[in-house]
């Protein structure tokens, strides 16, 4: 019998390891598998939690009509073979805990998780979700020594999506027609660039007065806090999980989407040696291009103010935890 040449189609489905099986991590596992994007390994420090969630998700596979698997584990050895690592592990802020205490605690968790996961998956792309996002992304990059194009933080997609929703609510148009751009650090110091926000190509400045835009911008900046206040315990997770999934999809399907993410800057916007939210293109090799859009002096000053706060967080975390 003559030898038959092997097909060039890969038989291996992509694999995403989600570190942290809390609200964001478990919802992300659901989104990824139900969109049939990748097999998921869900890892948490709590014994039984990722195993239980993974089994529950797996048991819906036939009903949701996808063919992706979900494995729950407490061992990083089970993450071997992952193309993307998403870190959502961390502690929420508890009563009496300062922002700085949270910073130090989450810094240790994220650095440990990044090192363990990348040691077993040196070719993976790393997406950091744990807050304070921009600082955690920098620390994870530094701890792993990965090329800067393979490390990024999820913040801008979520902030832009919140802004898009608020514009849709105000104007009564569908979100599908709206494009928004939010730069800077994820959190209070984000910089929504309303000049670049459009509805089917029409700038929102043509559709809303300045006070309505200002109100929407403020609501976007407080988007996370608004949900925390309503929930009373815990923070947002549906839109954050959708935002990470959007990035995962752009990488796995090599869509090269232009989206805002916390990426490494070396000179763009006059900023160096920092991860901060700016527009970039995301494909199968990670960040293929960092886009520098023209900003007014006032917008640039806000972005640099946001960067200064992120730098301060990085320095504090490194000094205190000796990472
Ligand atoms: N290793 C692995 N998992 C850990 C570790 C660790 N060292 N430490 C904590 N975890 C797990 C917790 O056991 C928990 O299941 O991380 C999970 C965090 O889940 P939640 O508390 O539900 O938090 P979540 O809402 O998912 O948010 C996660 O994303 O948006 C950000 O601000 C948010 O930093 C937070 C992160």
CA 154 to chain centre: 2
Q: Whose CA is nearest to atom 10 of ligand 1?
A: 89
Q: Whose CA is nearest to atom 20 of ligand 1?
A: 22
CATH 3.90.110.10 fits 156-321, yes or no: yes
- The pLDDT of 177-185, averaged and rounded, is 95
Q: Give the tens place of pLDDT for each residue, 275-288.
A: 999 999 999 999 99
- Res 94 pLDDT > 80: no
Contact criterion met (CB below 8 Å) for 173 and 136? no
Q: Whose CA is nearest to atom 23 of ligand 1?
A: 22
Quick one: pLDDT at residue 3? 74
Quick one: pLDDT at residue 2? 65
Quick one: pLDDT at residue 75? 98
Q: Where in the chain is the domain with CATH 3.40.50.720?
A: 11-155
Atom of ligand 1 nearest to the CA of 113: 1
- The pLDDT of 64-73, averaged and rounded, is 96
Give the span between the Cα atoms of 56 and 35, in whole angstroms: 17
135: DSSP letter: H
Quick one: pLDDT at residue 311? 96
Quick one: pLDDT at residue 46? 98
Protein residues whose CB sits closer than 6 Å to any atom of ligand 1: 19-25, 44-46, 88-92, 109, 112-113, 129-131, 234-235, 237, 240
Give the span between the Cα atoms of 148 and 301, in whole angstroms: 25
pLDDT-based confidence at 1, cuts 50/70/90? low
Contact criterion met (CB below 8 Å) for 174 and 168? yes
Pocket test for ligand 1, best of 31, 46, 88, 232 (most atoms within 8 A of CB): 88
Q: Catalytic residues, which ones? A: 186
Q: What is the Å distance from ligand 1's center to 53 Cα?
A: 14
- Res 77 pLDDT > 80: yes
Lookup result for tokens 């509805």 = 199
CA 20 to chain centre: 14
Lookup result for tokens 């992304």 = 137
pLDDT-based confidence at 170, cuts 50/70/90? very high
- The pLDDT of 163-172, averaged and rounded, is 98
- Res 298 pLDDT > 70: yes
Contact criterion met (CB below 8 Å) for 36 and 66? yes
Contact criterion met (CB below 8 Å) for 16 and 124? no
**Omega cis (within 30) before 132:** yes
Query: What percent of the chain is predicted at pLDDT more than 90?
Result: 87
- Res 100 pLDDT > 90: no
- Res 243 pLDDT > 60: yes
- Res 183 pLDDT > 80: yes
Spell 121-131 as b/e; 16+ CB within 10 A means b: beebbbbbbbb
| pTM, two decimal places | 0.96
What mean pLDDT is reported for the chain?
Answer: 95
- The pLDDT of 298-322, averaged and rounded, is 92
- Res 99 pLDDT > 80: no
- The CATH class, in words, for 11-155 is alpha beta
Q: Whose CA is nearest to atom 27 of ligand 1?
A: 24
């Amino acid at each position: 019998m003559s030898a038959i040449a092997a097909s060039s189609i890969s038989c291996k489905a992509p694999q995403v390891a989600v570190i942290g099986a809390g609200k964001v991590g478990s919802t992300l596992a659901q989104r990824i598998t139900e969109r049939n994007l990748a097999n998921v390994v869900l890892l948490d420090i709590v014994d039984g939690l990722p195993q239980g969630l993974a089994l529950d998700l797996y048991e819906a596979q036939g009903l949701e009509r996808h063919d992706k698997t979900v494995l729950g584990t407490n061992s990083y050895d089970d993450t071997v073979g992952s193309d993307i690592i998403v870190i959502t592990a961390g502690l929420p802020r508890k009563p009496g805990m300062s922002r700085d205490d949270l910073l130090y605690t989450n810094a240790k968790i994220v650095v440990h998780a990044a090192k363990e996961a990348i040691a077993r998956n040196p070719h993976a792309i790393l997406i950091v979700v744990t807050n304070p996002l921009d600082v955690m992304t920098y620390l994870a990059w530094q701890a792993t020594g990965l090329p800067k194009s393979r490390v990024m933080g999820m913040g801008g997609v979520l902030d832009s999506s919140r802004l898009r929703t608020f514009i849709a609510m105000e104007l009564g148009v569908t979100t599908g027609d709206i494009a928004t751009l939010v730069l800077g650090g994820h959190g209070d110091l984000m910089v929504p660039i309303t000049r670049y926000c459009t509805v089917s190509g029409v700038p929102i400045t043509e559709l809303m007065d300045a006070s309505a835009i200002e109100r929407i911008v403020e609501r976007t900046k407080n988007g996370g806090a608004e949900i925390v206040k309503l929930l009373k315990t815990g923070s947002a997770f549906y839109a954050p999980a959708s935002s990470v999934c959007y990035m995962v999809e752009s990488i796995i399907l090599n869509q090269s989407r232009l989206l805002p993410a916390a990426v490494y800057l070396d000179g763009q916007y006059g900023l160096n040696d920092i991860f901060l939210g700016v527009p970039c293109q995301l494909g199968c090799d990670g960040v293929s291009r960092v886009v520098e859009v023209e900003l007014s002096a006032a917008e640039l000053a806000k972005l640099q103010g946001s960067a200064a706060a992120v730098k301060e967080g990085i320095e504090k975390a490194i000094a205190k935890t000796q990472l």
